[in-house]
Amino acid sequence: MVKRKTCVFISGKGTNLKNLISQSRDSSFPIIISLVISNNKKADGLKFAKKYKIPNICISTNNRLYENEILLNLKKYNITFICLAGYMKIISNKLIKKYQKKIINIHPSLLPKFKGLNTFAKMIKNKEKKAGCTVHYVNEKLDGGNNIIQKIFFTKSDDNELKLKTKTQKLEYRAFPEAIIKIFRYF
Residue 61 interacts with ligand GAR (CB under 6 A): yes or no = no
Q: Which residue is nearest to ligand GAR (CB)?
A: 86
| Rounded Cα distance, 70 and 59, in Å | 7
What DSSP state is assigned to residue 114? Answer: S
All residues at 6 or more sequence positions from 84 whose CB lies less than 8 Å from its CB, including other chains: 8, 9, 91, 103, 104, 105, 106, 138
Stretch that binds ligand GAR, among 27-35, 71-79, 106-114, 121-129 (CB under 6 A): 106-114
Residue 108 interacts with ligand GAR (CB under 6 A): yes or no = yes
- The least distance separating ligand GAR from the CB of residue 130, rounded to whole angstroms, comes to 16
Which member of 12, 14, 96, 107 is catalytic?
Answer: 107
Chain centre to alpha carbon of residue 7: 10
| Rounded Cα distance, 78 and 164, in Å | 37
| Rounded Cα distance, 94 and 85, in Å | 20
Q: Are 54 and 35 in contact (CB under 8 A)?
A: yes
Residue 16 interacts with ligand GAR (CB under 6 A): yes or no = yes
> Looking at beta carbons only, is 14 or 30 nearer to ligand GAR?
14
Stretch that binds ligand GAR, among 12-20, 26-34, 55-63, 145-153 (CB under 6 A): 12-20
Residues labelled catalytic: 107
- Site residues (vs ligand GAR, CB under 6 A): 10, 12-16, 45, 85-86, 106-108, 169, 172
